[in-house]
Amino acid sequence: MSTQLTLVQLERMAETIREDIIRMLERAGSGHSAGPMDLADIFTTLYFHTLRHDPKNPSWSDRDILLLSNGHCVPVHYAALARSGYFPQEEIMTLRQLGSRLQGHPERTKLPGLENTSGPLGSGLSQGAGMAYSLKYLDNQAHRWVYTVMGDGELNEGNIWEAAMFAGKYKLHNLIGIIDRNNIQIDGTTEDVMPLEDLKGKWEYFGWHVQEIDGNNIESIIDSLSMARAISNQPSVIIAHTVPGKGVSFMEYDYHWHGGAVGVGVPNHDQAKRALHDLRTLKGKIKGEHE
């Protein structure tokens, strides 16, 4: 089981995970930056506070399930798994390298702790719905929660809305969706590429309980997850408003840092250095401990 951390410790863990992500991406030389960075608070909260899980026994039969549907954000997932003790910390630096268990997009069969294989967008919520349906209606294990993290750009996919209808129909209260509402996707802002608003209204019309929160505020994340678990007759979704590239001044809000080549999308050595400085000093507001 995970150890309970204090709020301050959780916030520090999120910053540590962000630093891990920057180092992983610099070493990998490709991948995605903005999403993993802005999801650090959510993954920290899940792995170090909310999820019932056992890093020493990843297939524990009574565990909660966490699915990453937008697989390109997997660096944050790997970092959280390593910091939780699922695999040796130094292994995070093998991301995207030949022979690594840390594939560019997550593969369940490669690494203990992963519950699904994802990358092509839009499938995670359906998989989560299948799991939640099994637990609720077939296995009498509705006390186990299924969390699915999705991107906002990912909501362009029709598969998501098929899953939304399904979960609404079967009132899968044990399914909790978390949308990383960072407003960016590859070609620009979500509202320019394919508008999502009224996003809250859309989910409500599909039969879901909806909360909108500050997705970079761990206290809000804890509270919203707690609220979602108190809803007993419909699935829940948390629209987590996040700052893309959170914590790094030159990445924040800039959709070019969604992902891509070294220097534009993935940090080069100098950018990584500046990013780590930003993270350790709260973008220059405080003196870093290790500067």
Partner 1 sequence: MSQMHLSADIGKVDIKSEPNRKGFGRGLKLAGDDDTNVVALCADLTESTQMSVFREAHPERFIEVGIAEQNLVTVASGMAAMGKIPFTASYSAFSPGRNWEQIRTTACLNDQPVKIVGAHAGVSVGPDGATHQMLEDIALMRVLPNMVVIAPGDSIEAEKATLAIAKNGKPSYIRLAREASPVFTTSETPFEIGKAYVLRQGSDISLFGTGVLTYQCLLVADILAEEGLDVEVVHVPTIKPLDEQTIVTSVKKTNLAVTVEEAQMAGGFGGAIAELLSEKCPTRLHRIGMQDRFGETGKPDELMKKFGFDANGIAKSVRAVINNHDSKSKEK
Give 130 or 260: the residue with its C-beta nearer to partner 1: 130
Nearer to partner 1, 133 or 145 (CB): 133
Cα–Cα distance between 68 and 103 in angstroms, integer?
A: 14
Q: How far apart are CA 157 and CA 140, in angstroms?
A: 31
What's the gap between Cα 112 and its chain centre?
A: 17
Of 159 and 281, nearer to partner 1 (C-beta) is: 159
Closest approach of partner 1 to the CB of residue 130, in Å: 2
- Strands 188-189 and 184-185, by their bridges, are antiparallel
Q: How does DSSP classify residue 262?
A: E
In the region spanning residues 41 to 60, those forming contacts with partner 1, defined by CB under 8 A, are: none
User: Do 68 and 118 contact (CB within 8 A), yes or no?
Assistant: yes
User: Closest approach of Cβ 131 to partner 1, in Å?
Assistant: 4
Q: Please state the closest distance from residue 36 (CB atom) to partner 1, in A.
A: 20
Site for partner 1 in 152-191 (CB under 8 A): 158-159, 162-163, 165-166, 169
Nearer to partner 1, 162 or 204 (CB): 162
* Interface map 221-260 toward partner 1 (x if CB under 8 A): ----------------------------------------
Q: Please report, as residue ranges, which positions from 13 to 32 form the binding site for partner 1 (by CB under 8 A).
A: none
Q: Is 214 in the site for partner 1 (CB under 8 A)?
A: no
Q: In Å, what is the CA distance from 134 to each residue of 63, 198, 229, 232, 276?
A: 14, 31, 18, 16, 43
> Which string of x and - marks every residue 96-135 that binds partner 1 (by CB under 8 A)?
-----------xxx-----xxxxxx-xx--xxxxxxxxxx
The residue length of the chain stands at 291
Q: Name the token pair of 27.
A: 């070493």
**Shortest separation between residue 60's beta carbon and partner 1, angstroms:** 14
| Closer CB to partner 1, 100 or 189, in the complex | 100
Nearer to partner 1, 4 or 140 (CB): 140
Residue 70 beta carbon to partner 1: minimum distance, rounded to whole angstroms: 13
Which amino acid belongs to residue 103? Q
* Beta strand extents in 20-145 (DSSP E only): 31-32, 65-68
Distance CA 37, CA 22 (A): 8
- Cα distance between residue 291 and residue 289, in whole Å: 6
* Angle, alpha carbons 249-259-238 (nearest 5°): 80
Question: Least separation, in Å, of the C-beta of 148 and partner 1?
Answer: 10
28-to-11, 104, 261, 269 alpha-carbon distances in Å: 26, 9, 11, 11
In the beta sheet, which residues pair with residue 175?
Answer: 146
Cβ proximity to partner 1, 129 vs 213, nearer residue: 129
Task: Give dist(CA 122, CA 256) in Å, integer.
Answer: 22
Question: CB 125 → partner 1: shortest distance, Å?
Answer: 8
Size of the site for partner 1 (CB under 8 A): 31
Q: How far is the CB of 234 from partner 1 (least distance, A)?
A: 18
Residues that bind partner 1 (CB under 8 A): 107-109, 115-120, 122-123, 126-135, 137-139, 158-159, 162-163, 165-166, 169
